[in-house]
Structure 1
Amino acid sequence: MVSNRATLLAVTCLGQFMVLLDNTIVGAALPDMQHRLHTQLTGLQWIVDAYVLLVAMLLLSGGVFADRFGRKRVYLTGAGVFTAASVVCSVAPSVGWLVFGRVLQGIGAAALSPASLALLVAAHPVPQERVRAIGLWAGFSGIGMAAGPVAGGMLAETFGWPAIFLVNVPIGVVLLVVGARVLGESRNPQAPAIDVPGTVLSVLGVGAATYALIEGGARGWTSPEILACFAAAAALLAAFVAVERRRPAPMLPLHLFRERLFTVSNSAMGAVGFALMGASFFFSQFFVYVQGSSLVRAGLQTLPVSAAMVVVSPYAGRLAARYGFRALVTAGLALAGLGLLALGSVHADTGYGNVWWRLAAVGTGFALTLSPLTGAAVQAVGPQEGGLASGVSSTARQIGGVLGVAVLGAVVRGQQSGGASFEAGLDRAFVVAGLVTLVGAVATGLWLTRSEPVRAAVPGERRELSTSAKG
């Protein structure tokens, strides 16, 4: 039994490792993709956002699918789709085919990730054991995130960008073979029905907005096509809200946002996704195109961000429990925002000794916020909605990331179209990301000023919120 549990833990952790590795490994290979595929910044944005958009929009549905149709079945299906999609990406002859492969990867990841955690939780009914298992799952995920920039730089430099996708194939095969043998099937017979209208409207609405933001700089912000996309996005998202209000089992229960803490934490999480993913999109490009680094060296140079996140994240929950959610999140967002503003003043001749600490400040600041924000979102609602609240928090971060890549890319293109250099465009993008983060810090502090300090729970521990904190 212990052996089976250990194998299950290894399989589920490896699946999440593969998903998180893919999040960061692609960024290191973007300069090589741009060179070999002869694409512009717009193409690179689609390569990243096509994946993130599908994960963001299908993540909540993926968890419901796992509960309703079987966690093992959904996990293996997600692993199979992700692996096959990685092959499609690796042989893509053009940006269009690569974006298509990234869409398929996003679908696979949206099934694999929530199913892996659901399998882990179902196999560990004892709270103490479950906490340790989830801790290992999250820690292994962090290793994947930290390994991505270095592995991506080495693989792209040595074999070319297709290698960053081929590395998923042996991992996927192991997951499918071993998972089919050791994973036990489980499901929730009371799981709600799939919210098909809500899922479709959310994908189309956010997708239309993303298209307009990415293509607006190239086609003109006042062109009929772009204006039509913005109008369609507004109409689709309004329809989404209307549908979710009437659905008996919506994918996004809007009543949750009546809780002030839930709204604040998810708004802050959206700002984190916007700034972190939007800025990370340009880190390797800065080192390669502005400072002339190789792909391998650029991957190593971006490491302070992910390394700081891996090192600091395990302590964030304890610090929040000691000093309070509001104090820690505000401080973390402020530190990250100042780090991004500092990155806005680096140039081609800035020595790395004067750059790495700015990246480390960004990673440390965001690491201090992610776990407490998720914990606060879960605590703000009833215990039966904790899983849903965690999924909404992850979705908020992913949607913020989609918009961050789109908006900051538009900032860079706008600067270049005005005659500025790529370096000047990057400086402006980092400043915008920093300002968004600082606004999030100020808003978080102000919105909760009159409430008692909210103690975000250490994993496995639940504290009751004060009446004032719950609004």
Structure 2
Amino acid sequence: MSTSLRARSGSARATFFTAYSAVALAQITNALPGALNGTFAAEFHTSGAGLTWIAGIFMIGVVVFELSWGLLGDLFGRKKLLYVGAGLSIAGSVLAGLAPTTGVMITAQAIGGIGAGILFPISLSMIAAITPDHRARARVIATWAGFLSLGAVISPVLSGLTSQLFTVPGAGAGDPNVFSGWRVAYFIAAAIALGVMVSATRAQDSAAPEGRRLDLPGQATLALGLIAALYATVRAVDAGFGAWDVITGYLAGGILLILFVVVESRTEQPLIHLSLFRNRAYSITGIVAVTGMFAFLAVCYSTSVAVGGLALAETWKVGVLFVFIQGPAFVFIPVVGWLIHHVAPRWVLTSGFALMAVSGYWLSTFPLGTPEAFGGTPWTAFMLPLLLLGIGFALTVGSITAVAINTVDEHHIGMASATTNLLRDLGFALGPVLGSVIAFGIGATAFAAPLAGILTGAGLTPAAVEGLSNVPPLAFLSGWSDVVGTFSGSALSGGAPAEAVDGMVRSLTGVQPQIQGAAGSSLGRGFQAVYLTAGIAATVSAFLTLFITSASTSAPGTAADAADAADESAEAKAGL
């Protein structure tokens, strides 16, 4: 059977249009929560772990199956997989637009993440399959990357505009009778996904089943291992690392990932060739793919929560900040392409990580946790450091793959690119997950003493102080009424007289401003620590790339070499 089968009917133009629209859609749905975390905290009264799941589970859906979707497209036809991906994007977006609770929103994000995880490689493989010439293929791949970047720019603008234009004026956050404008952004994403499905009916199909076989044991152990480990980390945000389910999650994840290594070392067609990591230069590239992209997403997530959730900035302002982050990746496409052609990619990579490090260190000096109206850091102060982050990301996100494929033998280029993509996306997933562990852990520790002092000074009993000391600081900010209701209900069920409970509730309400101020400043210290950690991670990444000494990365490549490298990278990601 031929390695590339095309349907007799179908338009090449429709195929390109469908693929470019699909990757833009996938990135729009991926980036939508970035500007909305503060809104989610206010509307859903969610915990720190809830925000982490909303932000992180989308990328988990992309990462855990990333190496298999391209192969399934090869086996069963890429257009069929694109229909599935677009259909899941519709389902996830509609469910997110209707979500009444954190749990439903998390489910919607998981569905949307799996859909996007299909669309990313399948859209690329569809256009690569109908572009046999290497130079032409390199051009369409660059265009595909441009539409991916365009989706990242559209998303924060879309969330900001819809929140500003469609939210009912004067409504309180979390009011069930209010239609929140951010939901319109998800309905628009669903409409775009429907358009992709309609466009795909005229697109050409392709497949490459010869010699292809799905590594089910490897896929299962990798997916379950990553999910277990990431679940344990997210659960630790609220429960702490000593909780039994956190320990169990880490143990299960560790065992499954060890089994994955065993399986991959014995199978003839592994998801990942472990021999790649015997190459020191490639191993370094793999490490910085994780640490560098962790730094990027940790800053993005921290900015969303710190500016939108703690400083209470309007959603459109957070959207503008995310344009400063995502915009350079789109605007600098020709610049980065020229640099990779004329400058050794590892130097481009090092420079990008250095800019990201400066951004992280700079942001860590900002006082956080206080609304601008009460003397907090103005939202406009974030623009310049976030622009540096965006430029650094533009320089690194493509250069990581370029450096990786230049550090291995020619016959390993495809697998090296695919594995690097997986590691890079794992770094994306870890950004909000580890960022939350750091921010909410430090925030809770810093909040304990001030909270106890405020409650004791307000005349609450020691038992009441002890009970409220277990409430995380974010709950006092995003769900005050829930905290008070739970406290009074618990006190009444414990046998406290109704009059005494009413008195404590009045005392608690009287010190609400002090408690919320302490909660905000405590969480602000936590997010300062995340920024600092991101700066350190980016610094380590920049330093490590200096030790990539492969001859092919020490000097600029020719235009033909760059075209071939881009071609191989696309084929690996697409599963060709």
Please give the TM-score of this superposition, normalised by the length of structure 1: 0.92
3-state SS of 2:326 partner: helix
Please list the CA deviations of residues 103-145 of structure 1 after superposition, one character each: whole Å capped at 9, or x if unmatched.
2212212222211111101111122322221121111111110
| Residue in structure 2 matched with residue 468 of structure 1 by the alignment | none
Q: Do the aligned partners of 1:261 and 1:376 also contact (CA within 8 Å) in 2?
A: no
Cα drift, residue 232 of structure 1? 1.4
| Counterpart mapping for 1:457-468 below 5 A | 459-462=562-565
Please list the CA deviations of residues 392-438 of structure 1 after superposition, one character each: whole Å capped at 9, or x if unmatched.
22211111122221111011111111125121111111000110111
Within 2, Cα distance between the matches of 1:306 and 1:456? 28
Within 2, Cα distance between the matches of 1:377 and 1:457? 17
**Which residue identity is paired with 2:83?**
L
3-state SS of 2:212 partner: coil
Within 1, Cα distance between the matches of 2:366 and 2:259? 44
Is the counterpart of residue 250 in structure 1 residue 270 in structure 2?
Answer: yes
**Which residue identity is paired with 2:440?**
R
Q: Equivalent of 1:433, from 508, 525, 534?
A: 534
| Counterpart mapping for 1:391-470 below 5 A | 391-420=418-447, 421-448=522-549, 453=554, 455=556, 459-462=562-565
3-state SS of 2:534 partner: helix
Residue 387 to residue 18, structure 1, CA distance change in 2 (3 Å): farther
Q: Do the aligned partners of 1:317 and 1:456 also contact (CA within 8 Å) in 2?
A: no
Q: Equivalent of 1:370, from 391, 394, 397?
A: 397
Q: Do the aligned partners of 1:26 and 1:164 also contact (CA within 8 Å) in 2?
A: no
Within 2, Cα distance between the matches of 1:34 and 1:289? 7
**Which residue identity is paired with 1:188?**
A
Q: Equivalent of 1:10, from 17, 20, 23?
A: 17
3-state SS of 2:446 partner: coil
**Which residue identity is paired with 2:110?**
V
Is the counterpart of residue 195 in structure 1 residue 215 in structure 2?
Answer: yes
3-state SS of 2:332 partner: helix
| Counterpart mapping for 1:376-387 below 5 A | 376-381=403-408, 385-387=412-414
Q: Do the aligned partners of 1:261 and 1:380 also contact (CA within 8 Å) in 2?
A: yes
Q: Equivalent of 1:108, from 115, 133, 142?
A: 115
| Counterpart mapping for 1:118-137 below 5 A | 118-137=125-144
| Residue in structure 1 matched with residue 284 of structure 2 by the alignment | 264
Cα drift, residue 306 of structure 1? 0.9
Within 2, Cα distance between the matches of 1:48 and 1:156? 18
| Residue in structure 2 matched with residue 469 of structure 1 by the alignment | none
- Listed as ranges, the gaps of 5+ residues in structure 1 are 464-471
| Residue in structure 2 matched with residue 340 of structure 1 by the alignment | 360
Larger Rg over CA atoms: 2
Please list the CA deviations of residues 444-464 of structure 1 after superposition, one character each: whole Å capped at 9, or x if unmatched.
21343999615467651459x
Please list the CA deviations of residues 213-269 of structure 1 after superposition, one character each: whole Å capped at 9, or x if unmatched.
111131121222211211111111111111111111111121222333332222211
Cα drift, residue 353 of structure 1? 5.3
Within 2, Cα distance between the matches of 1:449 and 1:443? 13
**Which residue identity is paired with 2:303?**
F
Is the counterpart of residue 314 in structure 1 residue 314 in structure 2?
Answer: no
Q: Equivalent of 2:158, from 146, 151, 158?
A: 151
| Residue in structure 1 matched with residue 455 of structure 2 by the alignment | none
| Residue in structure 2 matched with residue 389 of structure 1 by the alignment | 416
Please list the CA deviations of residues 279-332 of structure 1 after superposition, one character each: whole Å capped at 9, or x if unmatched.
211222222244442111221133211112222243224313323122221121
Residue 44 to residue 192, structure 1, CA distance change in 2 (3 Å): same
| Residue in structure 1 matched with residue 198 of structure 2 by the alignment | 177
Amino-acid identity (%): 26
**Which residue identity is paired with 1:283?**
T
Q: Do the aligned partners of 1:265 and 1:376 also contact (CA within 8 Å) in 2?
A: yes
Within 1, Cα distance between the matches of 2:83 and 2:550? 46
**Which residue identity is paired with 1:24?**
A
Cα drift, residue 59 of structure 1? 1.2
Q: Equivalent of 1:65, from 72, 82, 100?
A: 72
3-state SS of 1:167 partner: helix
Q: Do the aligned partners of 2:11 and 2:204 also contact (CA within 8 Å) in 1?
A: no
Within 2, Cα distance between the matches of 1:82 and 1:43? 21
Cα drift, residue 352 of structure 1? 4.9
The farther-off stretch of 310-319 and 265-274 is: 310-319
Q: Equivalent of 1:95, from 95, 99, 102?
A: 102
Residue 39 to residue 423, structure 1, CA distance change in 2 (3 Å): same
Task: Tell me how many residue pairs correspond in the alignment.
Answer: 461
Within 2, Cα distance between the matches of 1:41 and 1:356? 25
Within 1, Cα distance between the matches of 2:445 and 2:558? 49
| Residue in structure 2 matched with residue 31 of structure 1 by the alignment | 38
Is the counterpart of residue 51 in structure 1 residue 72 in structure 2?
Answer: no
Cα drift, residue 351 of structure 1? 4.2
Q: Do the aligned partners of 1:284 and 1:299 also contact (CA within 8 Å) in 2?
A: no
Report the RMSD for the aligned CA atoms in angstroms: 2.3
Within 2, Cα distance between the matches of 1:394 and 1:462? 14
Residue 373 to residue 319, structure 1, CA distance change in 2 (3 Å): same
3-state SS of 2:214 partner: coil
Residue 162 to residue 399, structure 1, CA distance change in 2 (3 Å): same
Q: Which has the higher contact order (CA 8 A, sep 6+)?
A: 2
Please give the TM-score of this superposition, normalised by the length of structure 2: 0.76
